[in-house]
Amino acid sequence: MSAQQPCVLLVEDEGVQREVLTYNLDAEGFRVVSAETGDEALLLVAEESPDLVLLDWMLPNVSGIEICRRIKADPESRHIPIIMLSARSDEDDRVRGLETGADDYVVKPYSVIELMARVRTQLRRSRPTTMGERLSFQDIILDSGEHRVFRDGRALHLGPTEFRLLSTLMERPGRVWTREQLLDRVWGRDIYVDSRTIDVHVGRLRKALMTNGGVNPIRTVRGTGYALG
């Protein structure tokens, strides 16, 4: 599994719909985790920290609208884009879904091709490096399509791990990433790596970024992790 493979949480209680969407998301190159209930979805949001949530409105026990509200109310998960799936097509329902915090609202029955396009659009906003975008922070430019990094116009030579680490930090400058979150994002969940390993690679990344005398842009948050800027 690629450590940069975006994770999509699919919350759908209908088995056939879940299988169809899982198949298409997997074909698009996404890692899919699924839930059949709202309570299960909230647990997976905390455990998996998905990059996007596909959320059905009509769920047993707790509605998708309530799950959306809870995800967006939590500072740890409010940044995760949510696409609401619903058979409710009235304008009032669309407005309610969006005002609750959904980033997009798709009415059933929908075109799977169009839905995949909407998923890619949301991920370009939340995880631009996985979609081949170019990022910039101060005098640092990261081109994920060409796998190159420049600082003050000069090319930097980064190893693959340091490149993935920098791309993660540049996705949300200022955000504090814990070591566990960085390990999950950079190495992936299928590989065991000691959390202290992240300190070694952050040190290598800092050294590369300061090769030509630039200021160290990576901030250490004692007892927590690291942030860019």
- Domains in the chain: boundaries: 7-126, 130-228
The whole-angstrom separation of Cα 76 and Cα 41 is 15
**75-96 burial by CB neighbour count: b if 16+ within 10 A, else e?**
eebeebbbbbbbebeeeebbeb
- Residue 52: predicted pLDDT: 94
Q: Kindly indicate whether the domain formed by 7-126 is annotated with CATH number 3.40.50.2300.
A: yes
- Residue 2: predicted pLDDT: 42
- Residue 79: predicted pLDDT: 87
CATH entry, 130-228, from 1.10.10.10, 3.100.10.10, 3.30.1330.40, 3.40.640.10? 1.10.10.10
- Residue 131: predicted pLDDT: 61
Q: What is the mean pLDDT of each run of 10 residues along the chain (229 residues)?
A: 72 93 92 94 92 93 93 89 90 88 90 90 74 81 86 90 90 87 75 78 93 88 90
Whole-structure pTM value: 0.65
Which residues, at least 6 apart from 181, have a Cβ–Cβ distance to it below 8 Å?
49, 225
Q: What angle do CA 99, 102, 105 make, to 5 degrees?
A: 100
Q: Which 8-state DSSP code applies to residue 149?
A: E
The whole-angstrom separation of Cα 227 and Cα 117 is 31
